[in-house]
């Protein structure tokens, strides 16, 4: 146990392995990101005067909440519809998680997590997983994504899956409240993160191939932290989108698409599903010195 998670300093992360994950992340370089406004307020504008993009803005309101049954004993649920989860309400001696009640497979879902200013310690994580994902550990670790049953992003800007850590974005500022958005697309098989109104890009792919039910999961090692679930929306997949997802399984690049010589309206629609991937750097022993 480290004192950082129990009373407010920085901790050390879990170890990574050398096996490559089956689901490939979209790879981004780190950059300095502005502290923008919450994406739950569509009328607010960022400091750059760009209007905030709201995923699934025209989708249906989804009223799911956290599971009382599937959670760590070190979590407490409160607030309207028990949408606020408190981690380690007294002091922390490990890692605690909770599962959302929403089954994600085959649909499109967006949800926001309003995270309190107590952002510190070994790992605060946001993502998805199966029922086999662990929800409690008597140690401080990056629990969501430690194996094949979870896909997570830690507050240190690192993606985790199968115990592999990949640098994805900047670290969150410690002791500063933030809003984390997650967009799950079960048709395209992707999970995309947003932070304070800014899209960070596709993090994980191949999720449409997961046959087990997938659920939202959050976890934390830090004492007295809390997250509130807000702006939950869903959208039923259209046949047109399902057909595009099937076609794009055979098209990897824009060059491949151009060679088909399709009508421009179809080419433009298909091209929306293409992203140019740059390999993310795996966390190595040098990075561990900086407590990933």
d(CA 269, CA 230): 31
113 and 147 assigned to the same domain = yes
Choose one of 187, 205, 234: the last residue of a domain: 234
In a domain, 22, yes or no: no
CATH assignment of the domain containing 199? 2.60.120.920
pLDDT for 245: 67
Is residue 251 domain-shared with residue 213, that is, in the same domain? no
CA within 13 Å, CB half, 206: 9
CA nearest neighbour of 184 among 208, 163, 168: 208
How high is the pLDDT of residue 284? 59
Predicted confidence at residue 18, as pLDDT, reads 36
What is the Cα–Cα distance from 247 to 5, expressed in whole angstroms? 47
**Is the distance from CB of 62 to CB of 234 less than 8 angstroms?**
yes
In a domain, 30, yes or no: no
pLDDT band at 258 (very low <50, low <70, confident <90, very high): confident
Provide the domain limits for residue 260: 239-272
Indicate if 163 and 266 belong to the same structural domain: no
Alpha-carbon radius of gyration of the chain: 19
* 0.95 surpassed by pTM: no
> Phi then psi for 100, rounded to 5 degrees?
-80, 155
192 in the same domain as 209? yes
Q: How many angstroms separate the CA atoms of 15 and 5, rounded? A: 17
Q: What is the spatial distance between Cα 198 and Cα 36, in angstroms, rounded to a whole number?
A: 7
What is the reported pLDDT for 19? 38
The structural domain count of the chain equals 2
Maximum CA extent, the chain = 63
Co-location of 261 and 213 in the same domain? no
Question: Which residue did the predictor score with more confidence, 167 or 245?
Answer: 167
Res 197 pLDDT > 60: yes
Residue 100: both structure tokens together? 């959302």
Q: pLDDT tens digits, residue range 83-120?
A: 999 999 999 999 999 999 999 998 999 999 999 988 98
Greatest mean pLDDT among 40-44, 56-60, 150-154, 261-265: 150-154
User: Whose CA is closest to 113, among 32, 25, 224, 232?
Assistant: 232
Residue 246: predicted pLDDT: 74
Regarding whether 249 and 214 lie in a shared domain, the answer is no
pLDDT at 94: 95
Tell me: do 175 and 254 sit in the same domain. no
Same-domain pairing of 229 and 246:
no
């Amino acid at each position: 146990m480290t004192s950082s998670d129990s009373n407010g300093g920085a901790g050390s992360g879990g170890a990574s392995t050398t096996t490559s994950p089956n689901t490939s992340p979209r790879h981004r370089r780190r950059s300095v990101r502005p502290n923008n406004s919450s994406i739950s307020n569509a009328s607010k504008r960022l400091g750059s005067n760009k209007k905030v993009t709201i995923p699934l803005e025209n989708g249906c309101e989804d009223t799911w909440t956290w599971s009382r049954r599937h959670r760590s004993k070190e979590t407490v649920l409160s607030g309207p519809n028990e949408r606020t989860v408190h981690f380690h309400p007294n002091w922390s001696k490990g890692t605690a998680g909770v599962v959302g009640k929403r089954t994600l497979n085959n649909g499109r879902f967006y949800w926001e997590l309003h995270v309190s200013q107590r952002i510190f310690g070994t790992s605060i994580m946001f993502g998805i997983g199966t029922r086999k994902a662990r929800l409690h550990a008597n140690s401080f670790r990056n629990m969501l994504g430690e194996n094949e049953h979870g896909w997570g992003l830690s507050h240190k800007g690192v993606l985790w899956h199968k115990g592999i850590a990949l640098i994805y974005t900047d670290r969150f500022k410690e002791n500063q409240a933030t809003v984390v958005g997650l967009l799950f697309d079960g048709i395209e098989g992707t999970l995309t993160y947003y932070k304070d109104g800014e899209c960070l890009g596709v993090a994980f792919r191949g999720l449409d191939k997961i046959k087990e039910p997938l659920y939202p999961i959050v976890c934390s090692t830090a004492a007295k932290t809390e997250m509130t679930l807000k702006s939950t929306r869903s959208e039923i997949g259209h046949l047109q989108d399902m057909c595009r997802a099937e076609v794009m399984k055979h098209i990897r690049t824009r060059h491949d698409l151009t060679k088909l010589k399709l009508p421009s309206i179809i080419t433009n629609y298909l091209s929306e599903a293409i992203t140019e991937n740059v390999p993310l750097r795996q966390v190595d022993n040098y990075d561990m010195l900086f407590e990933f």
